[in-house]
């Protein structure tokens, strides 16, 4: 990203090839995905701090400067996570405990709907999954908001660099076991028995696949789940049922993530 921004500031032009498909590896667990998203949202904020003076002093047009600052950095990496976290996870459930407080319809409905459709437009086949997508994105806004703050203000977690564990790769523990074990094939043999070697690797893979997943506990998500579920009960008792279903399902999604019951460990 740093190279792309600096090349753009020097007048380079980029072409997006929409018909090119590239296979990618997915994170092996939710914890790996969480760390990946933290890095992806903390890094751009660090880059924004470093490149902001260069963007202002560059010779590109004002339109390109505004597009780079607002759309490339601020909108997707700062404004949207901040909006999702503060509105749907803090402000909306807190207003359920204050009868005098009301939120305009355009804040609660129109703006989120517009943002959702804009995000879903590049992949129209994902439209049937827009509801679980929104619930999961609101849940991930906690991680993204934390990453945004740490990257923007250069906090300790912004300097962490953890390589995301991907599915299909051998874990570090499996590789260390293969290295530490005494090799069965010595130099005296003219040709190694490849069949035995393949069988040995398969047995290692079976043993690693039998390992039980140890669920983590995410306290921030659990605290927000308690707040949202309590607010949903409050709306039901106070006859403010317009927000009940959203608060209920959003609270359940936070609860599932907080107890690490989402996703599947892939070895």
**Residue 25 confidence (pLDDT):** 79
Please spell the DSSP secondary structure of 18-73, one letter per residue: TT-----PPBSSHHHHHHHHHHHHHHHHHHHHHHHHHHHHSSS-HHHHHIIIIIII
pLDDT of residue 261 exceeding 90, the answer is: no
Residue 78 or residue 182, greater confidence: 78
* Residue with token string 């908001």: 145
Q: What is the pLDDT of residues 217-258, one digit of tens each?
A: 899 999 999 999 999 888 887 766 668 888 899 999 999 999
Pull the structure tokens for residue 12. 């380079």
> What mean pLDDT comes out for the span 65-70?
86
pLDDT > 80? residue 123: no
pLDDT tens by residue, 17-36: 878 888 877 888 888 888 88
Backbone angles phi, psi at 30, to 5 degrees: -65, -35
């Amino acid at each position: 990203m740093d190279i792309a921004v600096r090349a753009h500031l020097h007048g380079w032009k980029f072409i997006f090839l929409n018909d090119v498909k590239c296979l990618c590896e997915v994170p092996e667990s939710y914890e790996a995905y969480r760390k990946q998203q933290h890095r992806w949202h903390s890094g751009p904020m660090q880059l924004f701090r470093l490149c902001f003076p260069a963007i202002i002093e560059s010779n590109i047009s004002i339109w390109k400067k505004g597009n780079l600052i607002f759309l490339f950095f601020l909108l997707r990496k700062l404004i949207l996570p901040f909006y999702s976290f503060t509105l749907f996870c803090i402000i909306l459930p807190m207003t359920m405990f204050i009868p005098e407080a009301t939120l305009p319809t355009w804040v609660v409905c129109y703006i989120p709907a517009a943002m959702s459709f804009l995000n879903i437009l590049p992949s129209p086949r994902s439209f049937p999954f827009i509801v679980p997508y929104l619930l999961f994105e609101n849940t991930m806004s906690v991680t993204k908001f934390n990453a945004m703050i740490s990257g923007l203000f250069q906090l300790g977690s912004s300097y962490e660099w953890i390589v995301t564990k991907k599915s299909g790769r051998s874990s570090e523990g499996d590789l260390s076991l293969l290295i530490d074990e005494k090799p069965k094939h010595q130099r005296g043999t003219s040709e190694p028995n490849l069949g035995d070697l393949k069988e040995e690797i398969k047995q290692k893979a079976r043993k690693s696949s039998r390992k039980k997943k140890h669920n983590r506990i995410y306290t921030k998500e659990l605290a927000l789940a308690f707040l949202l579920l309590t607010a949903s009960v409050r709306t039901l008792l106070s006859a403010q049922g317009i927000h009940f279903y959203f608060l209920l399902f959003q609270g359940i999604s936070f609860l599932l993530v907080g107890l690490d019951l989402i996703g599947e460990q892939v070895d």
